[in-house]
Structure 1
């Protein structure tokens, strides 16, 4: 009797797995979503991939932000779920746990290059030479004044530092659905907060004081960089947060600020001189590899010298390229089935 029960249970598991795989196999187009920073690079690769591999459909690429893409990836396995999540921030341990809770056990990270976070105004505005502490004092809801944490009193950049333009403060920052926001919080606000010298307080209170933006002159952008650009066009005194690649494509309308005395460029980001750089990556659902046609070839094509290498198509679009050995190591790790582990 027990043997029959065990056999029945085993058959049910096999049948369920087979149904999931068969269901996924009925879809023949790779589905990709996520980061607005990665979106233009992924769109270029998808289009070129469709041209280079006519036996495959051109992948569908959508935005939605890094957080949204990773959430979609982690919803489960099967035809109705995402294959690849583009992200400008690393998948966190809690995000990976969410994947595992939904049966998405094999998640593979592929880093394809680098980018910088830049601050820009309209082309006709004054020059900004910013430090993280300037940005913290402009953006945070509360700041230290005479050793006390008070509601942010600053309304003009020159009140923060006399070297900054006599210009009203208005900053458009990425919303919390964007990977850029996570990097912005860690590499700009947290560092600026430390430099500002907050009074001693509990860790949770310190984090809130460092990372909570004010509501009067700071707007959080849920959409992509085109929405941020529109804010600058409607408010000439606004400063916006962008990826370097978007700025490069809009140099005729934007003027970039220096950060810690360094102007962002492909060269200063590649060298590590510019302080706010980050890797760009996408996350692949391993259970769909070999089931959804073309995923392995798409990853290899993305990491090719032609696409992601120095002098390749993506560098021309604003990507800071990794060296060929790095790209080869990423492809080897993917093909070997190496599963992502947060650092």
Structure 2
């Protein structure tokens, strides 16, 4: 069959599946979760345990990035859309509105625990203590110039950004725009760092939209390199590329402590304690979004969600902590478990 015929056949198949997706009574044999590469190993571990204890079809878990997972989740109701979106940031207002527009009207938001975003190097590399402003000044596409105007970032080494940093080229491997890790890195690292620079602090008050553009746009001159949704690939790159740095989730750091190390930010190293208490500047919450309209239609969905939030899974000392998840405090976990049990529908994000 020619490539054109294959493409046409694929298009017809997709249209047929889409038509099935409009039928809320249609079923799928197994649970489907898609989204964050950071949440992926946790969801996979829950899926393995759920399938072993419950039997039946193995849950399908895909790492599409937070944005990609939520986009798929919000396409509609039915077997051709995921039951769960895994996310390493909260759902955006625009995403919520897309869901509503496509008939996904009952969404349950559940916080499953914490993670941190780390800036790491190979264990044999130089050590860094970044200030938040160093992150912006090193990685932003445009920075304030000598005359106050914004210019393309001229820094090529870290000591040009801050003399206290090593004289090492700026080469950072990080997640792509579809990644929740990328979004969180911009919100927790780049934007707060920008606000510590007087010209940008003034702009944040005078022209918020312009500030957001400057604070959320990374370099495009190969000093920042998009490396796909697979955080493990970034970890492996650091060991193969001396002098480079990587941006990825704390859970991947814990799994690779023999080969990589995390750098400090404002003098604070990422750890389970500093992430849980918020003293580490790049700490964040992790979420799953459940399509309530699929409960009772997709076999085992409600039970899968409760397994995710069980004490044995998400609790302190649970098997997800072994994978690198920083557990919620007991009172917060109890509150999120109550949301999961009642399937309490979220309200629109601000």
The answer to whether TM tops 0.5 is: yes
Return the alpha-carbon distance in structure 2 between the equivalents of residues 340 and 181 of structure 1. Answer: 24
Task: Tell me which residue corresponds to 2:105.
Answer: 105
SS in 2 for 1:21: coil
Residues 297-312 of structure 1: pairs in structure 2 closer than 5 A: 297-312=303-318
CA distances 1:301-336 after superposition (whole Å, capped 9, x unpaired)? 111111110011011111100133322322222332
Q: Which runs of 5+ in 2 are unaligned?
A: 1-18
1:215 aligns with 2:227: no
- Pairwise CA distance, 1:126: 0.8
Aligned twin of 1:71:
71
Deviations 1:175-226 (Å, cap 9, x if unpaired)? 1100111111111111111112226553332222222212221112233112
From 259, 272, 286, give the equivalent of 1:280: 286
Counterpart of 1:204 (choices 209, 212, 215) is 209
1:135-174 aligned at under 5 Å gives the runs 135-146=135-146, 147-174=148-175
**1:239 aligned residue (221, 235, 245):** 245
Contact kept, 8 Å, 1:305 with 1:324, in 2: the verdict is no
CA contact 1:299–1:331 (8 Å) conserved in 2: no
User: Rg bigger for which structure?
Assistant: 1
CA contact (8 A) 1:120 1:241 kept: yes
Shift of 1:164: 0.7
RMSD, aligned α-carbons: 1.8
- After alignment, is 230-239 or 103-112 more displaced? 230-239
Structure 1 equivalent of residue 51 of structure 2: 50
Tell me how far apart the structure 2 counterparts of residues 207 and 82 of structure 1 sit (CA, whole Å): 31
Which whole-Å CA distance do the structure 2 matches of 1:107 and 1:176 have between them?
Answer: 24
Q: What is the total number of aligned residue pairs between the two structures? A: 325
Distance in 2, matches of 1:159 and 1:324, equals 45
Q: Which segments of 5 or more consecutive residues in structure 1 lack a partner in the other structure? A: 1-15
| TM-score using structure 2 length | 0.89
Cα distance in 2 for residues equivalent to 1:209 and 1:273: 26
Shift of 1:150: 2.0
What SS does structure 1 have at the residue aligned with 2:199? Answer: coil
Q: Distance in 2 between matches of 1:81 and 1:258?
A: 40
Q: TM-score, normalised by structure 1?
A: 0.90
Is residue 271 of structure 2 the alignment partner of residue 270 of structure 1?
Answer: no
